[in-house]
Each structure stands twice: as C-alpha cells, then as structure tokens.
C-alpha cells in the first residue's frame, strides 16, 4: 500500500529569526513511517523540522509552515491509499510576518495571531479513495475530545494520546494511546516504546484500510 505519513512540528515565522512552534519531536511519525516500510509499504514522509534522522527507505518531503504542509498533503493524497496525519500542526500563526528582525522592546506588547487552516478538515469527504488516520493530542477529556475530532475531521480512525504526562507523548521515546474507530470498539495500547506502538498501528491500519477501501470500491 502507498502510505503518506506527516510528522514533526510546523514553524510559523514571526520575523526572519523567530517563529512559533511546539514540542513535537517527530518520533511517533518517524516510527510509523519506519514500521510501514518494514511491513513492505511504500512511504512518503512529509516532515516538519524534526530532531531525528529520517528512516531509510522512505521518500522525505520537508516542510516548515502549516501552509506548506497543507499543500504537500493535498498533493500527496492524490496518489495514496493511507494518510497518517501525525504532524503537530500549529493552530495559529502571526497575522503578519515582519520582514526585518523585530527590535527589543521595553514594554509589553501583543502579537496578533490568526488561525491556520485545518488540514484534515480540508480533505475531500465524499468518494475518498484513501484511508485517513488522525491523531489527537489531549490534556483532558481524552475520549470525548478524540471522538469529536474523529467526526469533525472526518477520519476513519483517530489515535489519541495524553500529552500532559511527562513520561509519554511529546518528546518522549514512549507513548500510550487509545485508538477510536467510527464503528468498532476502542483499542488501548498501554505504555510502551513508540517503535512498538508504531508496529501495532501499522498492522491495525493495514487491516482496517483494506476492509474500508474494498467496501468503497
Ligand atoms: N491537524 C490538522 N490541521 C491543523 C491542526 C491539526 O490537520 N491545523 C490534525 C493533526 O495533525 C491531528 C489532528 O488534526 O491529526 C488533531 O490535532 P490536535 O492538535 O489534537 O487537535 P486540533 O484540531 O489542533 O484541536 P485542539 O488543539 O483544540 O485540541
């Protein structure tokens, strides 16, 4: 199968030397890309600036901003069977990007932020020929928020993780996730390495996407 995996953070520039970003390391997405290659799939990895080397055997497409990620995803899904949207996309960006480095100030000031585009929600909803896996980064009410995102973003399944814990989730080598589906019962993968979680996810995604894509064709 042809996988498109997104990973890592986005960077939203403020001026030539500053940006808004988040703590995502890219580890979960990279582990999924690696596990998908190991399982014999063809993988395009669209990555923000991650702190780790790209796994071998994947085609890497580098992006910086949420707008670049938006365009790269829309191009890549024309030709894929599975999209795994693991990237930690910035939800907002500066309303304007200063062309010159902003000088130091001695008094407080406000930066105007505007929402970025929701990439998953922007994908076609009808007659889609690819299976969509979303991620949900939650600090509270994990199940309710993840289920809401599953529907609002029209995903086929969503992988929820608690990012408020310091021993798993963002930056860590470990994670604990619960997968929510549209029809099947949720499945929890207890705390373990991101590499093991990735292998398990690829197995589940392969099985579910085959079923779903056969039903659609
Ligand atoms: N996502 C996206 N486009 C955005 C923001 C997020 O496609 N502009 C995707 C993420 O890659 C992930 C899913 O949406 O697969 C959920 O991301 P998450 O950060 O959990 O939720 P948000 O939609 O950003 O909502 P909130 O931050 O309020 O929880």
Is the CB–ligand 1 distance for residue 67 below 6 Å? no
CA angle 9, 10, 13 (to 5 degrees): 140
DSSP state at residue 102 = P
Q: What percent of the chain lies above the pLDDT cut of 90?
A: 86
Task: Answer for the pair 176, 168: CB distance below 8 angstroms, yes or no.
Answer: yes
> What are the boundaries of each domain within the chain?
2-98+111-216
Give the pLDDT confidence of 155-213 residue by residue, as tens digits.
999 999 988 777 767 778 888 999 999 999 999 999 999 999 999 999 999 999 988 87
Is the CB–ligand 1 distance for residue 118 below 6 Å? yes
Query: Model-level pTM greater than 0.85?
Result: yes
Supply the pLDDT for residue 168. Answer: 67
Residue that the structure tokens 């498109």 belong to: 4
Give the pLDDT confidence of 76-123 residue by residue, as tens digits.
999 999 999 999 999 999 999 999 999 999 999 999 999 999 999 999
Higher per-residue confidence, 167 vs 6:
6
Looking at domain 2-98+111-216, its CATH superfamily turns out to be CoaB-like (3.40.50.10300)
Supply the pLDDT for residue 217. Answer: 65
How far apart are the CA of 61 and the centre of ligand 1, in A? Answer: 20
- 165: tokens are 């814990």
Helices (H), 111-217: 142-152, 194-216
Task: Answer for the pair 82, 16: CB distance below 8 angstroms, yes or no.
Answer: no
Supply the pLDDT for residue 216. Answer: 67
Supply the pLDDT for residue 64. Answer: 98
- Mean pLDDT over 124-133 rounds to 92
How far apart are the CA of 103 and the centre of ligand 1, in A? Answer: 32
Task: State the catalytic residues.
Answer: 22
SS (HEC) of 157-191: EEEEEECCCCCCCCCCCEEEEEEEECCCCCEEEEE
Helix (H) or strand (E) holding 27: helix 27-38
């Amino acid at each position: 199968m042809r996988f498109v995996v997104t990973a890592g953070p986005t960077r939203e520039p403020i001026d030539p030397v500053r940006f808004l970003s988040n703590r995502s390391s890219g580890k979960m997405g990279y582990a999924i890309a690696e596990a998908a290659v190991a399982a014999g799939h063809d993988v395009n990895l669209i990555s923000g600036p991650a702190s780790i080397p790209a796994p071998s055997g994947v085609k890497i497409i580098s992006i910086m901003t949420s707008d670049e990620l938006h365009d790269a995803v829309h191009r890549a899904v024309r030709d894929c069977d599975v999209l795994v949207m693991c990237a930690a996309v910035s939800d907002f960006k500066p309303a304007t990007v200063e062309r010159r480095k902003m000088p130091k100030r001695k008094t407080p000031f406000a930066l105007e932020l505007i929402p970025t585009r929701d990439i998953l929600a922007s994908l076609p909803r009808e007659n889609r020929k690819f299976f969509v896996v979303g991620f949900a980064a939650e600090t509270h009410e994990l199940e309710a928020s993840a289920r809401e995102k599953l529907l609002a973003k029209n995903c086929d399944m969503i992988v929820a993780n608690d990012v408020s814990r310091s021993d798993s989730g963002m930056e860590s080598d470990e994670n604990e996730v619960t997968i929510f589906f549209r029809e099947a019962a949720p499945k929890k993968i207890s705390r373990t390495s991101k590499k093991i979680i990735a292998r398990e996810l690829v197995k589940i995604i392969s099985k579910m996407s085959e079923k779903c894509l056969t039903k659609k064709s």
